[in-house]
């Protein structure tokens, strides 16, 4: 599996995944959906190489999805932001990635270890070579946002109409 050699990676059985905020039904932030829509979850160490592992995780779970490259780009940007701008990038920090599928979309959630009250936002375009991560997320996802989970921040992004291929797959997590 793609996680081999990733020291410190932790995967939790899908039955242990916390309930996700409902989103793929078009509701804004209310209610929750349970585990049946969760395709997989992985918790990675807060180091740069985890960005590549997060991309591989999403690529494996959503293979066949027509907008897979967009989904992979967004997980790359959100995991990199978590490692760069939050406590996830400090010694012992972690980043959790959850991918779920609803009846009409994929929902990606990336949880960081907290940013001392800092929250994600789209920066004004100034032509800089950095600082465009959330602009990319906003441009590729049909909806995005964040919620707090204690000191942590969960950034979520939704992508419309999952491909029929892969929808019947069993939930996946690494046997960690």
**Whole-angstrom distance, CA of residue 16 vs CA of residue 147:** 20
Q: Kindly tell me if the per-residue pLDDT of 71 is higher than 60.
A: yes
Q: At what angle do helices 68-85 and 133-140 cross, to 10 degrees?
A: 150
pLDDT top residue among 4 and 126: 126
Q: Kindly tell me if the per-residue pLDDT of 106 is higher than 60.
A: yes
**Whole-angstrom distance, CA of residue 172 vs CA of residue 176:** 12
**Whole-angstrom distance, CA of residue 176 vs CA of residue 174:** 5
**Whole-angstrom distance, CA of residue 125 vs CA of residue 130:** 10
Select the highest-mean-pLDDT range: 33-47, 68-82, 149-163: 68-82
**Whole-angstrom distance, CA of residue 27 vs CA of residue 105:** 13
User: Is residue 32 classed as helix, strand or coil in its secondary structure?
Assistant: strand
Under the banding of pLDDT at 50, 70 and 90, the label for residue 117 is low
pTM more than 0.85? no
**Whole-angstrom distance, CA of residue 98 vs CA of residue 75:** 10
- Over residues 123-129, mean pLDDT: 56
């Amino acid at each position: 599996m793609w996680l081999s050699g990733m020291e410190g990676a932790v995967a939790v059985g899908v039955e242990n995944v916390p309930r996700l905020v409902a989103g793929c039904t078009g509701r804004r932030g209310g209610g929750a959906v349970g585990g049946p829509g969760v395709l997989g979850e992985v918790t990675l160490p807060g180091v740069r190489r985890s960005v590549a592992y997060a991309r591989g995780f999403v690529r494996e779970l959503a293979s066949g999805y027509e907008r897979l490259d967009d989904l992979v780009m967004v997980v790359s940007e959100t995991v990199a932001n978590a490692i760069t701008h939050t406590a996830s990038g400090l010694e012992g920090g972690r980043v959790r990635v959850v991918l779920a599928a609803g009846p009409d979309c994929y929902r990606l959630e990336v949880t960081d270890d907290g940013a001392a009250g800092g929250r994600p936002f789209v920066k004004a375009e100034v032509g800089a070579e950095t600082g465009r991560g959330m602009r990319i997320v906003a441009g590729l996802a049909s909806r995005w946002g964040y919620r707090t989970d204690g000191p942590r921040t969960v950034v979520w992004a939704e992508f419309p109409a999952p491909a029929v291929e892969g929808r019947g797959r069993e939930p996946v997590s690494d046997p960690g």
